[in-house]
Amino acid sequence: MEYEYKVIDVADGSISSVLLGEGRIETSVLEAYINAMAADGWRMIFMSNVMQRHLVASDRETLMITFERRVPEDQQEARAARCIDDVIAAEDGAKRVGHRAAVGAVGLVAGTALLGSLLSNGESA
């Protein structure tokens, strides 16, 4: 394995997205991320703008940035051997995030239904 890769996402300000209906990725924040990665030997090779659902009612702009760096020759074999473990760990992490999101959505629906029921009972009393 001659190269390894890392993908990060840099999101717009969530407060301005929710409150003002628009968000912006600050240039200084993006520059800081890229410089921090470069200081650790990573080189940016790709960047893509992605809109992601945030909370329930809004979209959030995110930059997905891919970096690469050369794996030192004496570490290539060990790094290649770890790749499958990295895939398994990433998939497990994604499943946990998905489960938490599903539980949160169910909680939101149940809470909304309960609040609606309480309000309806209060109006009829």
Q: How much is the pTM?
A: 0.62
- How wide is the angle at C-alpha 12 spanned by C-alphas 5 and 21, nearest 5°? 150
Q: What is the pLDDT of residue 89?
A: 85
- Could you give the CA distance from residue 44 to residue 107 in angstroms, rounded to a whole number? 39
Pick 79 or 101 by higher pLDDT: 79
The whole-number average pLDDT for the span 2-16 is 78
Kindly state the tokens that stand for 100: 């938490």
pLDDT tens digits, 74-85: 999 998 888 888
Q: Are 94 and 45 in contact (CB under 8 A)?
A: no
Q: Where are the domains of the chain?
A: 1-70, 74-125
Measured from the Cβ of residue 17, the count of other Cβ atoms closer than 10 Å reads 19
Decide: helix, strand or coil at residue 22. Answer: coil
- Could you give the CA distance from residue 68 to residue 44 in angstroms, rounded to a whole number? 7
* Alpha-carbon 32 to chain mean position: 18
| Termini Cα distance of the chain | 71
